[in-house]
Structure 1
């Protein structure tokens, strides 16, 4: 689905990613793990077109999208959930979702082409039932875990084919972490959606992922097949 081939990228004159190669399987999950400052968020921002790489290429379904703007990538079926439980705080939960539904591309992908905004919102709310109960509450008054669920739901309203998640369980109470983890696992098992997951929780990442990559100082230092059997290998790679 997504190929990030020997990409170099960074900020101004500082190179953060050094010839990084990552592949996301069709209808599967690739997990990227690493300590703070390893370049994980930079990798996602580059994949989404928010950072222009200085080398290498980004391919979606074999198409070179390296020079496409973020909105053009969204039109091809990509969606991005950055860190920080981002939302429009002065809008209600329902208004946050409706705003995305109203602005989503008319024909973005095979998934986005069918059904209307109401149907897409209903599907997202089925995954996060608590948001239906909080539909009239302003997003700024939600808990951190509820805002994270809203951020993921907003991305799913676009009916993406590829979802980029940047540490979706970071800083969230354990009970909500379990709900978010189960939702992501459900999406991964359902098919029709590929996920590039940046995550600190190794156990969850290995349960979800078919492939894993460990980043250290902007370089891939370990990679392989995911699954619970890879958990100790990943923990060992992270402890180096």
Structure 2
């Protein structure tokens, strides 16, 4: 579904990713793990078009999208949830979702389906997003991305800084999305256990380079933890 091939990218004259290659299987999950500063968020920003690689290729379903703008990638089925539980704080929960749904053929149905995945948001439909907890805002951010009915979802540390009870809900939702098919996920995550449960493939980034890759699953968890502890 998504192929990132030998990508080099950075900020101004500083290179952050040095020839990184990552693949996301169709209807599957690829996890990217690594310490802070390894280049994980930069990788997602390059994938969604917020950064342009100086070399390498990004392909979506076989199409070269390396020079495509972010809105063109969204039109082709890509959705991105950055770090930070981002929402429009002065709009209500319902308005945040409706803003994305407007103009879409299945906008109303897509909102209903997203709320089915995060039922706690229904009771908060009239509350301004700025008054939600961090976990609730993260649920809203993911729900808003799902309203676009993406073919591939890019998640940047969706469980970071969130209370454990909501972390469990978010994890279960992402696992359910991955299991039902029709959606591929590129997941940047610090929680190794969750990442290995969700992912068919994993990639470890260190200083902007892939140092280890392999099949996901619980059997890989010990070796991944060992690699990250170095």
TM-score above 0.5: yes
C-alpha distance in 2 between matches for 1:228 and 1:10: 33
Q: Look up the match of 2:137.
A: 147
Q: Displacement of 1:102 after TM fit?
A: 1.1
For residues 1-240 of structure 1, the aligned pairs below 5 Å read 1-102=1-102, 116-240=106-230
> Aligned partners of 1:102, 1:33: CA distance in 2, in Å?
35
Quick one: distance in 1 between partners of 2:111 and 2:211?
A: 40
Structure 1 runs of 4+ with >4 Å offset: none
Cα-to-partner distance string for 1:72-119 (whole Å, 9 max, x where unaligned) = 00000000000000000000000000001115xx5xxxxxxxx52110
Question: Which secondary structure does the structure 2 equivalent of 1:35 belong to?
Answer: coil
Secondary structure at the aligned position of 2:102 is classed as helix
Q: Distance in 2 between matches of 1:66 and 1:233?
A: 33
* Distance (whole Å) between structure 1 residues aligned to residue 216 and residue 138 of structure 2: 25
**CA deviation string 1:181-221 (max 9, x = no partner):** 00000000000000000000000000000000000000000
Unaligned 5+ residue runs, structure 1?
A: 107-114
TM-score, normalization by structure 1: 0.95
| TM-score computed with the length of structure 2 as normaliser | 0.99
RMSD value, Cα: 0.7
2-structure distance, mates of 1:199, 1:98: 28
Q: Report the alpha carbon displacement of residue 236 of structure 1 after superposing the two structures with TM.
A: 1.0
Give the Cα separation in 1 of the matches to 2:102 and 2:206.
40
Count of equivalent residues = 230
3-state DSSP of counterpart to 2:155 = strand
Q: Which residue is 1:111 aligned to?
A: none
1:6-62 residue CA offsets vs partner (Å, 9 max, x unmatched): 000000000000000000000000000000000000000000000000010000011
Q: Matched residues in 2 for 1:168 and 1:28: separation?
A: 17
User: Alignment partner of 2:146: what SS?
Assistant: helix
Question: What SS does structure 2 have at the residue aligned with 1:149?
Answer: helix
Distance 2:74 2:106 in 1: 17
Secondary structure at the aligned position of 2:43 is classed as helix
In structure 2, the gaps of 5 or more residues are none
